[in-house]
Amino acid sequence: MNNALPLSARLVLLLALFLAVPACQTKPVWKPQHRPDYKQRLTRGCIFYMDGAGGGTDKSNYAAGVVAGMLDAGYNGAGELVTWETGKGLIADQDASVEYKRAKASQAAASILKYKSSYPDAQVGILGFSAGTAEAVFALEALPDSVQVDHVVLLGASISRDYDMTQALKHVKRLYIITSTHDRMLKILMPLSGTADRKFHDPGAGIKGFVLPTGASPATRRLYAEKIVAIPYSQEFRKDEDKGHHFDNVKEDFIRDQVAPLFMGRPTPSP
């Protein structure tokens, strides 16, 4: 049964939350443009960034800190901003059907395939933020059976915590999910507005990570154990002015110190 709040009630709640987290209103918008060495960077790797609801375009995105942080960390590959959003605003993006989101994710998968065919030896990463984490997972599922990407990092994941990750995990070598129990956007809004994959009364995987789906097979349990690394919020993050809030995930310093190294070969934590 769909227990979503009426649109007007969700809008009031969303605005209240945004006022409670003023940093999200002042984030600079990144103007998508290729760097002078873009073609050379493409030969070394590419990260496909799935932005959150209300972002993903040259007029509205949360990518400024992501781009700056990756460059600060010395990442020498390229990056692509993947547009999946409806263009009708944050709530419309979050509410968009799973069918719509899967169709957009299939387009992203096609772009990944095109890149891999052009640069077969280059590393491929996917970075998903907020509702963009569902797009990241759906894009993995849309890849052909024989295709894998190297690393996936999920930030502020608003995909449901019990989403069956079996098919997605077959297409990635290692998937990191950075979690925080301090994320008010997920704890308060998601159970009411619905997750990006349209489940209600679920705060999303970004709070404590994924849980095994009911009746998980031994093969699924093995994939979760071998490929998912959950990185919970810690006091170490505070040096990057990260208090575990939703939009702290895309701050420049946090991306530089905590996210970029996951794409660049830092020894991984134990799953």
pLDDT tens, residue by residue, 87-96: 998 888 989 9
Going by C-alpha positions, the residue among 236, 226, 198, 219 that lies closest to residue 93 is 198
pLDDT of residue 270: 44
10 pLDDT band, cuts 50/70/90, is low
Proportion of the chain in helix, strand, coil states, percent, rounded to 5? 45, 15, 45
Q: Which residue has the higher pLDDT, 242 or 21?
A: 242
User: Is it the case that residue 1 has pLDDT exceeding 60?
Assistant: no
**What's the CA gap between 213 and 210, in Å, rounded?**
9
Distance between CA atoms of 140 and 92, rounded to whole angstroms?
A: 23
**pLDDT for residue 271:** 42
Residues 6+ apart with CB under 8 A from 139: 48, 50, 82, 105, 106, 108, 109, 112, 126
Under a CB-based contact definition with an 8 Å cutoff, are residues 245 and 21 in contact?
A: yes
Tell me which of 8 and 203 has the higher pLDDT.
Answer: 203
Confidence of residue 6 (pLDDT cuts 50, 70, 90): low
Looking at residue 203, its amino acid is P
Pairwise CA distance, residues 84 & 94, whole Å:
11
The single-letter code of the amino acid at 116 is K
Higher pLDDT, 207 or 19: 207
Structure confidence at residue 9 (pLDDT): 54
Residues 6+ apart with CB under 8 A from 210: 161, 162, 163, 165, 177, 224, 228, 230
Task: Name the average pLDDT for the chain.
Answer: 88
The whole-number pLDDT of residue 241 equals 74
pLDDT in tens, 40-53: 999 999 999 999 99
Percentage of the chain lying above the pLDDT 90 cut: 68
220: confidence class by pLDDT, cuts 50, 70, 90: very high
Tokens representing residue 191 in the block: 């159970």
pLDDT in tens, 112-163: 999 999 999 999 999 999 999 999 999 999 999 999 999 999 999 999 999 9
Integer CA distances (angstroms), 126 to 41, 62, 84, 133, 189, in order: 16, 15, 14, 9, 25
In the numeric block, which tokens belong to residue 178? 């950075």
| pLDDT at residue number 190 | 80
In total, the chain counts a number of residues equal to: 271
pLDDT score recorded for residue 33:
80
Residue with tokens 């769909």: 2
Segment holding 48, helix H or strand E? strand 45-50
CB 260 within 8 A of CB 70: yes
Q: Which residues contact 32 (CB under 8 A, 6 or more apart)?
A: 58, 63, 81
What distance in Å separates the CA atoms of residue 80 and residue 189, rounded to the nearest whole number?
Answer: 29
For residue 38, pLDDT over 60 is answered with yes
